[in-house]
Amino acid sequence: MNSKISNYQHHNYNTIVCMQNSDINTKKHDNNFTGVNFTSNPINTIPQSIQTAPNFRAEFVSKDEQKKYTTLLNMTDKNSRKNLEVLFKKGVLLNSDSNDSSSVLDNLYKIATTERARGLSNLSLLSDTINTLANPFIITQQFGDIPSEYRDQALKAYCADNQSNLLTQALAEQEIDVPHSGTCVASSIEFNLAKEMPAEFTRFVEGLTSPNVSVEKTIKLKNLADNTLDAIWLLNAFEVPYKADNFDEATLKFAPDKNALLRAQIQTTHRDPLERSPIDVLMQSTLMQIGSQQSYNSLSDKRAGKFNQNDKGLIEFEKTFTESVVEDKNKLSITYQKVDENARLVGYETDFNTMKKHILQALNMGENVIIGYTQVDPNNVIINGHEITIVGTKQNKDGTISFICNDTDDNISKPIEYNEKFLLPKIHHAALPESVLRDDINMVENWVEGLNSYKEMKRQAA
């Protein structure tokens, strides 16, 4: 989350993050709307910055690797087999840039040949993982319906979690049907992990779908705060199970909420087109758990936790913490929009050219940029917020650029384009490397910013 965060003010964006399917998505299907285009051909999903890295190779160095590859080829369907071959040729399959140095191939082999969590299918998980690595744009946040054979089980689990009474029972039917997901932050981080860190993504999938339904990760504490005690404070505040053996590193345990497996089982047997895969279910639940202080419920898509007054989605502080521990990188979240106490957009902390410069510099460093954008009503009051990921740019004939983006809430399994004139005014915040922002802003410790925001929230609620 970066050891530092901008001193730009943090407003009540937490009340609007990831609440509904936004109008910006519905306008994509309006032929008269010129702000958005779909790319005619999917862009290369393997970033140039990592294609040439030493840990990307396209030749086997042992008989064990060859054997595993042959086994996977014999277990996959035609489409997945083709994608597996592409991953091998591009050097992705043998990439081992994961937290424990296991390769994509190693973890795919475990997914295919070892026991999975109850109700999950080895072959289905294998295909979903391969296909997601080949095209991360298929990752979605769309919940599926709960079919009749699972409904009683889901209702009982929901009522058990919410101190069952007549009112809870009456509401349960509505609560477990999720028409609009609040997992845009989680699904954006999932997408980024699959696209930029394929070995680590596959390691996460293997662990979360195993009988343990969890995965451990060792992180550098300096990627959370300059001071070790502050980093430990953050881990305790977010209630992430961890073990710190020294002052430099900690081993964290990530797991989905207890109801996520039921959702994953449903998606294994009753998944409709454009709905989440079982992998999406477990990954997004895990990421929501990390950010919401272990308070997420996959049945209702709601959360509690100390940092957010809203029961849907993650706020900026929570999002940045989650990105930081999952990617083990110094992340900085910068707020660009000025918003008053009535959630009215009143201006910007910097000009659009500077904003664009920040994003372009991050992209040139090989970093995708997860942004939060807002929508306003005719009075400039913010009515909605959503997270998407900028993965590249395209030069236009008129001299402007278009940002190539991924939106996990648009039912489109390929990149989309937003012209800079359309998108830049809507950007509320962005996650960027500190080096991009160092010369433009003053910064304070991220954990200080988060704590102050928490105290202010408590003061307003009093």
pLDDT at 450: 62
| Residue 248 and residue 380 share a domain | no
Q: Which of 253, 281, 316 is the last residue of a domain?
A: 316
Whole-angstrom distance, CA of residue 427 vs CA of residue 443: 20
Q: Based on the structure, what is the number of domains in the chain? A: 2
pLDDT at 272: 96
The reply to whether 248 falls in a domain is yes
Cβ-count burial of 332 within 10 angstroms (0-12 exposed, 13-18 middle, 19+ buried)?
A: buried
Containing domain of residue 78, as a range?
48-140+178-316
| Residue 305 and residue 241 share a domain | yes
| Residue 77 and residue 32 share a domain | no
- As beta bridge partners, residue 430 has 334, 371
| Residue 239 and residue 124 share a domain | yes
Whole-angstrom distance, CA of residue 210 vs CA of residue 278: 12
| Residue 403 and residue 443 share a domain | yes
Cα 217 from chain centroid? 17
The CATH number assigned to the domain holding 419 equals: 3.90.70
Q: Dihedral (C-alpha) 11, 339, 460, 6: value to the nearest 10 degrees?
A: 30
The encoded tokens of residue 442 equal 């003053």
| Residue 112 and residue 28 share a domain | no
The reply to whether 273 falls in a domain is yes
Q: Dihedral (C-alpha) 357, 359, 361, 362: value to the nearest 10 degrees?
A: 160
pLDDT at 33: 34
Tens of each residue's pLDDT in the chain, 462 residues: 433 333 333 333 333 344 333 444 433 333 333 345 555 444 444 444 334 344 678 888 999 999 999 999 999 999 999 999 999 999 999 999 999 999 999 999 999 999 999 999 999 999 999 999 999 999 999 999 999 999 999 999 998 877 656 666 778 888 999 999 999 999 999 999 999 999 999 999 999 999 999 999 999 999 988 889 989 999 999 999 999 989 999 999 999 999 999 999 999 999 999 999 999 999 999 999 999 999 999 999 999 998 888 899 998 889 989 999 999 998 888 899 999 999 999 999 999 999 999 999 999 999 999 999 999 999 999 999 999 999 999 999 999 999 999 999 999 999 999 999 999 999 999 998 878 887 776 655 555 666 666 666 656 655
Residues 18-37 as b/e (b if ≥16 CB within 10 A, e otherwise) read bbbbbebbeebeeeeeebbe
Find tokens 């105290």 and name the residue.
Answer: 455
| Residue 200 and residue 78 share a domain | yes
Q: Which of 293, 316, 339 is the last residue of a domain?
A: 316
| Residue 293 and residue 195 share a domain | yes
| Residue 109 and residue 37 share a domain | no
The reply to whether 322 falls in a domain is no
Lay out the sheet containing 215-220: strands in order across: 215-220, 249-254, 242-243
pLDDT at 175: 92
Question: Nearest Cα to 111, choosing from 305, 235, 302, 278?
Answer: 278
Beta strands at 416-419 and 337-339: parallel, antiparallel or unpaired: unpaired
Q: Which of 316, 346, 378 is the last residue of a domain?
A: 316
| Residue 247 and residue 209 share a domain | yes
| Residue 355 and residue 287 share a domain | no
What does 222-271 look like in DSSP terms, one character per residue?
Answer: GGT-SSHHHHHHHHHHTT--EE--SSSEEEEEE---TTHHHHHHHHHHSP
Residues 96-128 as b/e (b if ≥16 CB within 10 A, e otherwise) read bbbbeebbbbbbbbbbbeeebbeebebebbbbb
